[in-house]
Amino acid sequence: MKPPLLGYRLLSVLSGLVCLMLGTAFGQSERPTIQRKHARELLTLISDSSTPICPSTSVPHMFGDQLLPDGSRKRFTIPRGHVFVITSFDWVVEGSSQASNTVWTAVTLIGPSMKTNALFSGATADSIGRAAGSTLVPDGIPVSSETVMCLDYVGAVTDAFARLHGYLKPR
């Protein structure tokens, strides 16, 4: 006697639904939500040839300016007692020595006792070394006030520009 096919399918569907509901109920409640709801809370930080060189390193420029709503800039540091949560990273390089190859960029974090590349992004450069990329960070990367955020890239470039988007959060 053959087992009822409809019974097995129904049992399989029900089992899948139970697993999905349990995974959603338990998995998501433990995961912190970092996205802010209001655009006014978002900050854009800039790294380019006008921002300071990163300290004690060969890494080019730090994310040292905040882009204001009117298009002007002001120097930026993370206030004590807060973290800056990175939610995305956009970049453009020109004149890369990696022409017609992949250009890699990174957000390098330099703190009192560490130096690490926290975020990578890559794109294929055109024949004259132009490339651009954008990376979303759904879970965010928290950066403390003791840490300097810097733009880094592979190879030589004639110009580089990058933006970090995120928000401040009390520690």
pLDDT per residue over 94-146, tens digit each?
998 888 899 999 999 999 888 888 899 999 999 999 999 999 999 999 999 99
* Phi, psi dihedrals of residue 14, rounded to the nearest 5°: -65, -40
CA–CA distance, 12 with 152 (Å, rounded to integer): 50
Confidence of residue 23 (pLDDT cuts 50, 70, 90): very low
Give CA–CA dist 163/134, Å, rounded: 9
The pLDDT value recorded for residue 93 is 92
For residue 154, the model assigns a pLDDT of: 82
Whether 58 has a pLDDT exceeding 80, the answer reads: no
Q: Tell me the average pLDDT across 140-160.
A: 90
**Which pLDDT does position 12 carry in this prediction?**
45
**Contact yes or no for 45/129 (Cβ under 8 A):** no
pLDDT of residue 29: 41
Decide which of 1.10.10, 2.60.120, 3.30.1370, 3.30.420 is the CATH code for 39-170. 2.60.120
> Is the pTM of the predicted complex or chain greater than 0.85?
no
How many angstroms from the chain centroid is the CA of residue 118?
A: 8
Residues in the chain: 171
Element at 137 (helix H, strand E)? strand 131-144
Task: Give the pLDDT mean for 75-92.
Answer: 95
CA distance 71 to 46: 12
Query: What per-residue confidence (pLDDT) applies to 39?
Result: 67
Quote the mean pLDDT of the chain: 81
Q: Hey, how many other C-beta atoms are within 10 angstroms of the C-beta on 77?
A: 10
Question: pLDDT band for position 56 (50/70/90)?
Answer: low
Residue 157 clears pLDDT 60, i.e. is over it: yes
The β-bridge relationship of strands 148-153 and 102-111 is: antiparallel
Q: Which H or E element spans position 114? A: strand 114-124
Per-residue confidence (pLDDT) for residue 59, from 0 to 100: 64
